[in-house]
Each structure stands twice: as C-alpha cells, then as structure tokens.
Amino acid sequence: MYCTQPVTSDILFVGASDRRLAKFENVFPIPRGVSYNSYLVLDEKTVLMDTVDKAVGDRFLENLAHGLDGRPLDYVVVNHMEPDHCATLGELLRRYPEVRIVGNAKTITMIGQFFDMDVSGRCVTVKEGDTLSTGRHTFTFFMAPMVHWPEVMVTYDGADKILFSADAFGTFGALNGNIFADQMNFERDWLDDARRYYTNIVGKYGAQVQALLKKAAGLEIACICPLHGPIWRENTEWFIGKYQQWSTYTPECRGAAIFCGSIYGNTENAADILANRLAEKGVRDIVLYDVSHTDVSQLVSEAFRCSHLVLASATYNGAIFTPMENLLLDLKAHNLQNRTVALIDNGTWSAQAARQMGDIVGAMKNMTVLEGTVSLKSSVKADKREALEALADTLAADILK
C-alpha cells in the first residue's frame, strides 16, 4: 500500500526506507537502515526526481501511481545513476512508456551500460545551466561531477527555491515517519550518521564538493531535498556549514581520537594510559576505539571529526596490525588531510608498526607527526609509562594551544 507525504503543496515524497539491508554498497553497516528518496512534482507537467533502489521498488511504484492518480508521467530527472537510485529506472520506463528521461550526456551513456533498452528517442539531454519549464516550476540543472559519480547533477527549482541535491546532504538512516530534519533532533540523533555517510561516500572528493557548494552559494535555497535521509526546509545554512568543514578537511573539534590495534591488550593498555593522562591535562571529549571492533567507516568518520589522531598499533607479520593498516589505507583513500598524529607501536622482538604508519601518514597531505613516538616491547614498563606521559604532555599542549 502506498505511503507518501507532501513536501510542498505540489511536490510529493514518493521514496521509501529499507530497514533490512545490512550493508550499504555491501560495505557500510547501516543498523538504522537507509532511505531512498524520490520526489514527484505535480505541475502542469509531472516530473519525477530520481527513482529508488530495487529493495523498495514495489513501494515506490505504488507511491508513484498513487501520486499521479491517473495522470501520465511526463519526465523523470536522473540526477544520479548509481543503482541505489536507478535500479528501478528500467521498470519505470516499462510502466510509463511516454516518460522522457532528463539527464546529461554521461547519464544517458550510463543508462545504456546498466540497461538493455534503447532510450535514444526518449531523452532530454541537459548541460550546465539548462532549464526545463513544467508550468509553475522551472528547473535548472547544475553539474556536480564526483559528488559522488562523474554524471551527478543537481536540480534547482526556482519557483520554490528547492535544491534537489542528489547524494549531497544525504545520510544513512531510515526515515521513521518524519521526513523533515526540523521534525527530529538531527544534531543529536543523525549527525554522526550524516558524517559517516559523507566521509565514506564522498569524503575523497572534497574539491568537487567545494565546487558544488560554490554553485549553491549563488542560489537562494529554502529547501534541500537529498536522495537519502531527511529534507531540509529550516536551518539549511547549518548543514551547509558542516559540508563546508568536511569538504575542506577542517576538523570539527580540537580533540583526540585514539585508535588502537591491540592483539593481547598491551597496546590497548598504552592507549588507555595516554587517554587518561590527556584527560588529566584538560583534554575533553576524548574517544578511544579498538580498530578490531569498530567498523572502519565509523573510524574514518571520527578521524574527519577530530583534529588530533593517535595511532597505537601492534606489529604483526613485521608490519602494521591488519585492522590498523586497513584504517590507514582507508583514511588515505578518502584524502584525509590537515591532522596532527601521534604514534605508538609494540613489538616483542621487532617493533615495525610506527615507522610504517608514519610512512602512510607521511604520504597524506598536510599531516604532522608529533615527536615522542612510544615503542613498547610486549607490555608497558615504567620507562614506557614515562614516555607515554611525555607524549601526553606534547599532545595535550598541541590540542589546547
């Protein structure tokens, strides 16, 4: 049965949430689910803004049919061709043979790659700044390559000042009745997932997100309709500000995120001692993660949030402990930069992890490794406790300066 909500007097939310999928893109855990948003504009012409993942395809098609209420579907705007938004495009085209596809040249090529259907006679190919008038609404298309794929574009509705923002301004998390950010405590309940979504999905593409934000700055935006998560019709500047920070790799807080990779608990002991000394020296809101237990997507998100990172790793096979190496390679892949790092390693016969972690961090942009790396031999002894105290002094002074 259909399940829709009005966004405005003539725009209907026709998307749906998936609470069964364990991992988004088969890699990111989503214990709170995810929503696939789709919007139906009921103007003189009818316009659908994107489709949905096939997991919620049946509900979406019911919602769409209900919204149209017997009217034809004139246009489907494809802002993004990733299958979480386009897996149902083929079925949509079969059910609505008269619909015209609005997309850019790259979009049209990708439709041919994903589907075995000839859409050549059904496409309206748009480029930067092109418009589509449907009656009261005039939609303008802005290209947003690599936010998150090369064909991504966003659509601006000049009538109601709405930005249909594709993946930008999205978040993990199913929608639970409330579809607007102002109907929920977003900062308390959603920001962590929004950050985890941003950093892991488009974190690598800060420059491209910056380019989109510059375009958005030239628009009057009253409402942001993303393809995942709640709609923003209030306080849009707050969320845009977060994107400004994330896309410039600017930490949200001066504080320490401690990541430890420990096999038998001795490296963790060192990380714990350091955390406690930092607390005594006035550092607040310290977070400490065992990299073997917390999903790497959360660790990446926390590294984007905090100004100072502590990497404490056992040596394993003459190298960095595997989960820590995985984290570091993920941070590098996501282009993390502008952070200060302290290193701790451990090796019963040959500690190698700190040097190798330093090599990876050194290959990242604008990263500072603090003096005073602590290298354990098996467990923390009195001299290493002193070394940890000294490292805490250096780290706390840098955080609190």
Give the residue among 52, 56, 96 at the shortest CA–CA distance from 74. 96
Q: Find, among 162, 200, 181, 301, the residue nearest to 239 by Cα.
A: 181
Residue ranges of the alpha helices (H) in 157-312?
186-189, 191-201, 206-217, 236-247, 266-280, 296-305
Per CB under 6 A, which of residues 149..188 are in contact with ligand FEO?
Answer: 149, 167
Using CB under 6 A, pick the residue from 75, 79, 80, 198 that binds ligand FEO: 80
The residue whose two tokens read 């301004």 is 169
Instruction: Find the shortest distance in angstroms from Cβ 61 to ligand FEO.
Output: 19
Q: Which is nearer to ligand FEO, 24 or 249 (CB)?
A: 24
Residues 6+ apart with CB under 8 A from 335: 203, 204, 205, 206, 249, 364, 365
**Residue with nearest beta carbon to ligand FEO:** 82
Q: Does 50 bind ligand FEO (CB under 6 A)?
A: no
Member of 153, 175, 212, 227 binding ligand FEO (CB under 6 A): 227
CB nearer to ligand FEO: pick between 25 and 128:
25
Interface pick for ligand FEO out of 18, 74, 84, 325 (rule CB under 6 A): 84
Q: Does 111 bind ligand FEO (CB under 6 A)?
A: no
How many residues are given for the chain?
401
- Rounded to the nearest whole angstrom, what is the least distance from the CB of residue 80 to ligand FEO in the complex? 6
* Cα separation, 288 vs 259, whole angstroms: 6
Closest approach, Cβ 352 to ligand FEO, in A, equals 38
* Residue 85 interacts with ligand FEO (CB under 6 A): yes or no: yes
What tokens appear for 26 in the block?
A: 């088969």
User: Shortest gap between Cβ of 40 and ligand FEO (angstroms)?
Assistant: 19
Residue 366: CB partners within 8 Å, gap ≥ 6?
A: 337, 338
> 257 forms bridges with which residues in the sheet?
287, 309
Is residue 334 a contact point for ligand FEO (CB under 6 A)?
Answer: no
Contact between 216 and 240 under an 8 Å Cβ cutoff? The reply is: yes
What's the min distance (Å) between Cβ of 19 and ligand FEO? 17
Going by the DSSP 8-state scheme, the letter that residue 144 receives in this structure is -
Please report how close the Cβ of residue 213 comes to ligand FEO at its closest, in angstroms: 18
Tell whether residue 277 is a contact of ligand FEO (CB under 6 A): no
Residue 339 interacts with ligand FEO (CB under 6 A): yes or no? no
Where on the chain is the footprint of ligand FEO (CB under 6 A)? 80, 82, 84-85, 148-149, 167, 227-228
